[in-house]
Structure 1
Amino acid sequence: MSELRDFLELPYGELEDLNLQAKEQRKKRVSADVIQEERLKYLTDEKRIKAVTVLFSDLEGRLHMLDYDKKFLIKSYDNLTFDGSSIRGFTAQRESDLRLGIDWSAFYWAPADVFGGGKVLVFGEVIDKNGGIYSGDIRSVLKNFSQEQFDKQGYTLNAANEIEGFLFEGIDAERNYHETGRFEYVNKGGYYHSLPGDPLREFIDTTAEVQRAMGFENEKDHPEVAPSQFEINYTYGEVVAAADQIQLYKLICRQVATQMGMTASFLPKPVVGVNGSGMHTNVSITKGGKNLFWDPKGEEKISKLAWQFTDRILTHGNDLCLLLNASVNAYRRLDPHFEAPNQIKASAVDRGSMIRIPIGNEKSSRVEVRSVGPDANPYLVLYSIFKTGLHGQTSKIKNLRQAERYLPDNIYSALENFRGAEWTGELLGEDVKSRYADLKQASADRCARLLGTIVKAPEVQFHHDVYNQLLWNIF
């Protein structure tokens, strides 16, 4: 039957060219109308495309996907409705109708052997019933904030994320954890070490190839410190594109792992006794192509603006902790015995500091926020870091950058800090702040209050990346 189905299947090199062209348009801020017209013409002319996968993320950062028939989408792209009450953290049942807009600039050609033939991907924007940005769609909130900074200040907000994960034996290892009580490593090699043909290396190679084809512009990839742990690095991007790439990175890793009969996990600390996984978040601001965080004469060779940015994040470190460490399991990672960034400090050398100032030059000068879990909502992470860094308050604490202050070691303290902070209300609005806190409270209340020395089944089962209705109802 397959020869009857003439669906689009492009070689990886051709995919990379198409995705890099689209990325360049996005970088140059080509008008939305121009890109929309171009994409609709392409979809109309390319007969081998059968469906368009529209992606959006819920308040906790879980990625959702809908496939629209291509011909239907071309006719109805400006009136795509869906039931928001089925998405945790979105609208209540009484006001469930939401619409999906299409962000045509965030358009991706994907390898057919991983995503299926005849499909392209595009990110959506959730629109409320009044036609405005839906407050629970943090991607739209971030996009709006980023555009505002560009329009008012000429600022381009840049981010690069180093996302660590684990590769475990078996499909659905996380969803089966409440039955098995353990994760099985596929490799015990450790940092930089795996043989060319072993499962971890094959997984990393395959994932890197898919990323390259999707225009990620890879830099380096390697096994990490812990057994079966990996990190696949790619270049920085404008803040919304960077957050989109985090979602795609995790999606690609999970899909490739599943096809190989394994599970890619982004739990921050799935195994006690070895290093956890982080998502070190490198940020900078450019204006007219010039890096505003660079100053060869400044302390640690970063500018006054970069230090002010850093000081504001340190001031609000505890306020933001629940946004950057979004799960019960994340607080296992904030353990000082494993290079954990749990001190609310800034340092060029101390990896236990929340913020590190890496060695940089005019191009690479940046601030690295280390206390971020790989399971956090990337749009929330980048929005809260940039808005706090630019508009937060600065504490009068003496020696703020080196004061003895620590991030919470459990989700209940983080929830208390988040709920009690005025800044989080300013950041998100009281309604979204309350909804987010309620979601985190619900997961936390199903877990052991004290972390203890073993990972408990509920902290995996009720994790926002893992749960489904069936698992949630087992409680």
Structure 2
Amino acid sequence: MDVIGNAIEIMNEKGIKFIRLQFVDINGIPKSVSVPFGSDEDLEDMFNDGILFDGSSVDGFVEINDSDLIMKPDPNTVSLLPWRPEESGVCRFICDIYNTDNTPFEGDPRSILKKSLKKISDKGYNYNIGPEPEFFIIDKDEEGNYIPHDDASYFDVEPLDKGPNFRRKLVFDLEELGFEVEASHHEVAPGQNEIAFKFDDALKTADAVITFKQAIKAIVDNMGYMVTFMPKPFFGVNGSGMHCHQSLFKNGENLFSDENSENGLSQEALYFMGGLLKHSAALSAVVAPTVNSYKRLVPGYEAPVYVAYGLKNRSALIRIPAARGKGTRIEYRCPDPSCNPYLAFAAMLEAGLDGINNKIDPGDPTEINIYKLNDEELEERGIKTLPASLWEAYHAFEEDEVLKKGLGSHISEKFLESKYAEWDEYRIQVFGYEQKKYMSL
């Protein structure tokens, strides 16, 4: 049975009455439309021909004078929604976006990732990635201010950790969605949690990140909680990252592994890291894309601000976990969960491929605590820092031809327009901190 037939069979077995068709805008925000499930023939037509919609109403898509686009559901992404009552008969498909001439729309983030993945699949490679999106469970105090849900810290247990029942429910529901959850636990900051899911193909993983965030928010809302994926919701504590473990495979073999090398890493792994390090400033605009992202990327809160790599060093931008063989991977620590995973994964892959294609040497690993180095010591070692603001990051992206070409002219232009607007909106605000500090001048 083909994938379309399999999807239709699942829907008939589950008594599906409505189909939710979903895609994301340039910022990774899910958009969806519900359509009734008619006959099997109607559904096959929808898979093949798609549904017309107004692309001018979606951030980063098209202008009003050329607004027609088509969404086509990917039959491989059929999923029930565990936060909806089973009797509601709703399932969801993730869609790809096409122009009316049936060519892939160059502003569709999912299509951009598929385009980058095709470059390596033509060589027989697979790009696997395992993200670790962190999040906060939050409450409000009597004045209506947001506060962490508990005062627990890393790996704490009850009663300090108030999240075990919450995480258990999330894990069960995520498993219904097809996730293979590897671990769930309380993170370092008060109210901060992490649920890690299995390393997989980059496209499946990007779909999973969007589903993960959507599911958690929906499930939590049903439980009477609030959740945020904001990178730095509270001053003075760690922010939320989305460390991305990644490697290349060919014919089932991990190309980043070399058991004969001193550190177990292949030359491809080193070159891939070289590309990530070379493009790190521009990459930060894509993988840490909000004004708030740069409140997280500061020294002292376990956030990676130094452009270096280490075999076990969590103060460096890239860390190499101890696993070797098929488990060999690099951990890129800059991304946060506010990013669009399709664009973030595509940008990291393009940077890494540039490293491999041009044999970019990452240098020697840094195995000391970089946080303790002063400016002179950093300069002596040639260790640079990531951009300190969104303004610096998007200017670096403007000058990076590899990433702009990899994401395509449409996405690059629309992305930069969005970042210009975000920075302009931010820079003219007046905050309570400023009023307290300067009102008496």
The answer to whether TM tops 0.5 is yes
Is residue 62 of structure 1 aligned with residue 33 of structure 2?
A: no
* Aligned counterpart in structure 2 of residue 165 of structure 1, from 127, 135, 139: 135
Partner of 1:50: 17
* Aligned counterpart in structure 2 of residue 285 of structure 1, from 235, 242, 248: 248
- Structure 2 stretches of 5 or more lacking a match? 367-381, 436-441
The residue type equivalent to 1:185 in the other structure is P
Q: Cα gap change, 1:116/1:140 in structure 2, threshold over 3 Å: closer, same or farther?
A: farther
The residue type equivalent to 2:75 in the other structure is W
Partner of 2:146: 183
Shift of 1:196: 6.9
Shift of 1:129: 2.2
Is residue 415–residue 437 contact of structure 1 (8 Å, CA) maintained in 2? yes
Name the CA distance, whole Å, in 2 between partners of 1:203 and 1:140. 34
Q: Cα gap change, 1:449/1:248 in structure 2, threshold over 3 Å: closer, same or farther?
A: same
Identity level (%):
28
Map 1:404-443 to 2 at 5 A. Answer: 404-443=383-422
Shift of 1:197: 10
Q: Cα gap change, 1:397/1:118 in structure 2, threshold over 3 Å: closer, same or farther?
A: closer
Partner of 2:209: 246
The residue type equivalent to 2:78 in the other structure is F
Partner of 2:38: 71
Map 1:314-329 to 2 at 5 A. Answer: 314-329=277-292
Is residue 332–residue 451 contact of structure 1 (8 Å, CA) maintained in 2? no
Partner of 2:68: 97
Shift of 1:109: 2.7
- Structure 1 stretches of 5 or more lacking a match? 1-32, 174-178, 457-475
Q: Per the alignment, in what secondary structure is the counterpart of residue 28 of structure 2?
A: coil
Q: Per the alignment, in what secondary structure is the counterpart of residue 336 of structure 1?
A: coil
Map 1:229-308 to 2 at 5 A. Answer: 229-308=192-271
Is residue 83 of structure 1 aligned with residue 51 of structure 2?
A: no
Name the CA distance, whole Å, in 1 between partners of 2:8 and 2:270. 45
Shift of 1:394: 5.3
Name the CA distance, whole Å, in 2 between partners of 1:433 and 1:228. 35
The residue type equivalent to 1:74 in the other structure is L
Is residue 55–residue 124 contact of structure 1 (8 Å, CA) maintained in 2? yes
Shift of 1:450: 9.8
Q: Which moved more, 1:380-389 or 1:416-425?
A: 416-425
Name the CA distance, whole Å, in 1 between partners of 2:360 and 2:180. 42
Is residue 343–residue 407 contact of structure 2 (8 Å, CA) maintained in 1? no
Shift of 1:342: 0.8
Name the CA distance, whole Å, in 1 between partners of 2:259 and 2:175. 33
Partner of 2:340: 377
Q: Which moved more, 1:156-165 or 1:200-209?
A: 200-209
Q: After superposition, what is the alpha-carbon deviation per residue over 1:47-100, rounded to whole angstroms, capped at 9, x for unaligned?
A: 721111112111111111221111176164123011111111111111111100
Is residue 333 of structure 1 aligned with residue 312 of structure 2?
A: no
Partner of 1:27: none
Q: Which moved more, 1:353-362 or 1:158-167?
A: 353-362
Is residue 270–residue 455 contact of structure 1 (8 Å, CA) maintained in 2? no
Shift of 1:429: 2.3
Partner of 2:375: none
Which TM-score applies when normalising by structure 1? 0.81
Q: Per the alignment, in what secondary structure is the counterpart of residue 123 of structure 1?
A: strand
Is residue 205 of structure 1 aligned with residue 176 of structure 2?
A: no
Name the CA distance, whole Å, in 2 between partners of 1:231 and 1:261. 19
The residue type equivalent to 1:426 in the other structure is K
Which TM-score applies when normalising by structure 2? 0.87
Is residue 133–residue 141 contact of structure 1 (8 Å, CA) maintained in 2? no
Q: Cα gap change, 1:430/1:129 in structure 2, threshold over 3 Å: closer, same or farther?
A: same
Partner of 1:12: none
Q: Cα gap change, 1:347/1:399 in structure 2, threshold over 3 Å: closer, same or farther?
A: same
Q: After superposition, what is the alpha-carbon deviation per residue over 1:430-466, rounded to whole angstroms, capped at 9, x for unaligned?
A: 332111011011112111379999699xxxxxxxxxx
Is residue 365 of structure 1 aligned with residue 321 of structure 2?
A: no
Q: Per the alignment, in what secondary structure is the counterpart of residue 71 of structure 1?
A: coil
The residue type equivalent to 2:349 in the other structure is F
Partner of 1:472: none
Name the CA distance, whole Å, in 2 between partners of 1:109 and 1:216. 12
Q: Cα gap change, 1:119/1:355 in structure 2, threshold over 3 Å: closer, same or farther?
A: same
Shift of 1:36: 1.4
Q: After superposition, what is the alpha-carbon deviation per residue over 1:201-253, rounded to whole angstroms, capped at 9, x for unaligned?
A: 22211111111122211111001000000000111111100111111111111
Is residue 116–residue 349 contact of structure 2 (8 Å, CA) maintained in 1? no
Is residue 282–residue 397 contact of structure 2 (8 Å, CA) maintained in 1? yes
Partner of 2:370: none
Shift of 1:137: 0.8
The residue type equivalent to 1:58 in the other structure is D
The residue type equivalent to 2:43 in the other structure is I
Name the CA distance, whole Å, in 1 between partners of 2:53 and 2:316. 43
Q: After superposition, what is the alpha-carbon deviation per residue over 1:240-286, rounded to whole angstroms, capped at 9, x for unaligned?
A: 00111111111111111111222210010010100000000000111
Name the CA distance, whole Å, in 1 between partners of 2:162 and 2:358. 48
Is residue 154 of structure 1 aligned with residue 124 of structure 2?
A: yes
Partner of 1:108: 79
* Aligned counterpart in structure 1 of residue 110 of structure 2, from 129, 139, 163: 139
Name the CA distance, whole Å, in 2 between partners of 1:130 and 1:79. 12
The alignment yields a C-alpha RMSD, in angstroms, of 2.6
Name the CA distance, whole Å, in 1 between partners of 2:324 and 2:85. 38
Is residue 112–residue 407 contact of structure 2 (8 Å, CA) maintained in 1? no
Q: Cα gap change, 1:384/1:125 in structure 2, threshold over 3 Å: closer, same or farther?
A: same
The residue type equivalent to 1:48 in the other structure is G
Q: After superposition, what is the alpha-carbon deviation per residue over 1:90-144, rounded to whole angstroms, capped at 9, x for unaligned?
A: 1111111110011111222332646873111111001112211111112112123
